[in-house]
């Protein structure tokens, strides 16, 4: 027994099968940003024209850095803080920066999973009645709430206001505001309309504060949702990569099935073509500005989740001679295909709701009103659109279940980074019971800090942390990482390490691709990629 315990301390886990690693990388890289950010960036940056800077950034930055991070992890079998200390002690801080960013990420990312879980449960209300974000007749709705479905029931000449229809005589006498009648309020355009879904999200789910002057108390049902999300993460990781490597067989693949179902349904709706046009019709003139190129660089690095130490940690569990070039091609290309598929899933629905709410506007103008990014798209625009379909609760269940899966397999990879960093620093903690305690402690502490995100100022805190902890620091970490490998450690020495690790090309195809290190990639490491990163920061 004593001998077994000593062995457990010394032996580091390995992936049970190569597919476990590939699916873990794919599940980690393909996350919520593919669903709610990439389609929006395409629409904002010239439709299909945006694919030109996007794929160029993928070739000159995405592939080289992704491969570099996997190679570092596989060759050393170390987590970032120990890896960089061994390569060059002066760059030890880069590893700790990555771990710090990961610590921030696990706190705020899980609240998004909690919101998805909350909406998933709320969707069951549609089984026996209406979905809670359908109408404007709830206690949390304000005078600005607008329900186009209810307005269509008004007779000609009547004015719709706050869930009711008023004839012109009454509308000219009743006050919407002290200084305006309902007729004036609606007619002169001062009515700043909000949909029922917007108000449900803002006033009921989030209980959002007007400012950040006071924190307020955590919202009970959100706390329960957050706790549920952390329990889910804990049990996915309780046996380390042995359990998470099997969970990703479902969490990394089933979202594609759901995406395809939603894509087919969305493209059969009236107005879907308006959304598709907004997404793919190219506007080449916009490429003359710098914004599409900067957005493309940011999207590549954020969607592939580089610079956070997670890819290095995942690769550290590989066998020494694993074919990393194959894995890089699969994950990077799979990530991009998913982003494009998401665009063809999201925008038909957006085109549908835009046509229903603003039939009087031009197709592009009305779609642009609803073409939002981030949580606004996921928890306002899309649920509002799904609510207009037959049996809307089924479509909402599918959508929010997809968000949960996309979020959870990204989340437990980042949690695994923190746990692995601790047990690598203190190898005696690798025993199952002790490692479980470490995992539980990380989850508990993250849940405790995450309670701030369930308060009325939670969305403001989320925006701040996402912008300043998960944005520029990642790009800076990638820049320093590439410079360190290329110039401090030495790119020739690094290439030698990769050749030692991966050996000769398995066949002629891999030889044509430049296996194990394509010359184009090391040219990117020493010149092109650092320049692109520097411009993007």
Contact 68, 536 (CB under 8 A): no
**Residues in binding site:** 27, 29-30, 34, 303, 335, 406, 409-410
Nearest-CA neighbor of 486 among 88, 19, 44? 88
Contact 408, 372 (CB under 8 A): no
- What's the half-sphere exposure (Cβ side, CA atoms, 13 Å) at 449? 16
On the 0-12 / 13-18 / 19+ scale of CB atoms within 10 A, 161 is: buried
Residue 347 Cα distances to 195, 343, 361, 477, angstroms: 18, 6, 17, 34
Give the number of other Cβ atoms within 10 Å of residue 46's Cβ: 22
Q: How many other CB atoms are there within 10 angstroms of residue 183's CB atom?
A: 20
CA angle, corner 497, sides to 493 and 502, nearest 5? 145
Q: Is 181 helix (H, G, I), strand (E, B) or coil?
A: strand
Q: CA 415 to CA 389: how far, in whole Å? A: 37
Rg of the chain, C-alpha, whole Å:
25
Q: Is 487 helix (H, G, I), strand (E, B) or coil?
A: helix
d(CA 371, CA 350) in angstroms, rounded, equals 7
Positions at the binding site for Na(+): 27, 29-30, 34, 303, 335, 406, 409-410
Specify which residues 175 forms β-bridges with. Answer: 181
Q: Which long-range contacts (CB under 8 A, 24 or more apart) does 216-221 make?
A: 216/455, 216/456, 216/457, 217/455, 218/451, 218/452, 218/454, 218/455, 219/454, 219/455, 219/456, 221/118
Question: 394 to each of 127, 161, 344, 364, 503, how far by Cα in Å?
Answer: 9, 30, 20, 29, 51
Q: Are 371 and 335 in contact (CB under 8 A)?
A: no
User: What are phi and psi for residue 159, nearest 5 degrees?
Assistant: -110, 130
């Amino acid at each position: 027994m004593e001998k077994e315990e000593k062995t457990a301390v010394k032996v580091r886990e390995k992936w049970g099968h190569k597919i476990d690693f590939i699916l873990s990388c794919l599940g980690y890289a393909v996350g919520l940003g593919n669903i709610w950010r990439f389609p929006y960036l395409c629409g904002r940056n010239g439709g299909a024209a945006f694919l030109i800077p996007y794929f160029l950034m993928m070739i000159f930055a995405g592939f080289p850095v992704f491969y570099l991070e996997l190679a570092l992890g596989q060759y050393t079998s170390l987590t970032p803080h120990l890896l960089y200390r061994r390569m060059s002690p002066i760059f030890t801080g880069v590893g700790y920066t990555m771990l710090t960013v990961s610590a921030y990420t696990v706190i705020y990312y899980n609240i998004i999973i909690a919101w998805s879980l909350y909406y998933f449960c709320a969707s069951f209300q549609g089984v026996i009645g209406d979905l809670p974000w359908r109408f404007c007749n709830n206690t949390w709705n304000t005078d600005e709430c607008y329900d186009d479905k209810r307005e269509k029931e008004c007779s000609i000449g009547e004015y719709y206001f706050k869930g009711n229809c008023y004839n012109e005589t009454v509308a000219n006498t009743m006050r919407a505001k002290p200084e305006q009648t309902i007729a004036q309020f609606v007619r002169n355009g001062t009515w700043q309309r909000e949909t029922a879904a917007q108000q449900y999200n803002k006033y009921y789910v989030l209980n959002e504060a007007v400012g950040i002057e006071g924190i307020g108390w955590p919202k009970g049902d959100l706390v329960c949702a957050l706790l549920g999300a952390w329990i889910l993460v804990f049990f996915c990781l309780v046996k380390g990569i042995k359990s998470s490597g099997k969970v990703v067989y479902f969490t990394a693949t089933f979202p594609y099935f759901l995406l395809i179902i939603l894509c087919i349904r969305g493209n059969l709706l009236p107005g879907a073509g308006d959304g598709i046009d907004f997404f793919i019709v190219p506007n080449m003139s916009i490429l003359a500005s710098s914004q599409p190129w900067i957005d493309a660089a940011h999207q590549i690095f954020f969607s592939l989740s580089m610079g956070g130490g997670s890819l290095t940690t995942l690769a550290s569990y590989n066998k020494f001679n694993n074919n990393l070039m194959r894995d890089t091609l699969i994950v990077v290309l799979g990530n991009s295909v998913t982003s494009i598929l998401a665009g063809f899933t999201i925008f038909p629905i957006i085109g549908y709701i835009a046509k229903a709410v603003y039939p009087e506007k031009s197709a592009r103008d009305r779609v642009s009103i609803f073409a939002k990014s981030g949580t606004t798209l996921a928890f306002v625009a899309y649920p509002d659109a799904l609510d207009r379909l037959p049996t809307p609760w089924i479509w909402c269940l599918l959508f929010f279940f997809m968000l949960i899966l996309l979020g959870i397999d990204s989340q437990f990879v980042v949690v695994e980074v923190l746990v692995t960093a601790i047990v690598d620093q203190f190898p005696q903690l690798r025993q199952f019971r002790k490692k479980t305690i470490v995992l539980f402690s990380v989850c508990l502490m993250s849940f405790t800090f995450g309670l701030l995100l369930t308060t009325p100022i939670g969305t403001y805190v989320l925006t701040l942390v996402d912008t300043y902890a998960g944005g520029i620091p990642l790009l800076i970490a990638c820049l320093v990482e590439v410079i360190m490998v290329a110039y401090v450690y030495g790119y020739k020495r690094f290439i030698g390490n990769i050749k030692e690790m991966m050996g000769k090309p398995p066949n002629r195809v891999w030889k044509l691709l430049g296996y194990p290190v394509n010359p184009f990639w090391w040219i990117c490491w020493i010149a092109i990629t650092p320049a692109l990163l520097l411009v993007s920061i």
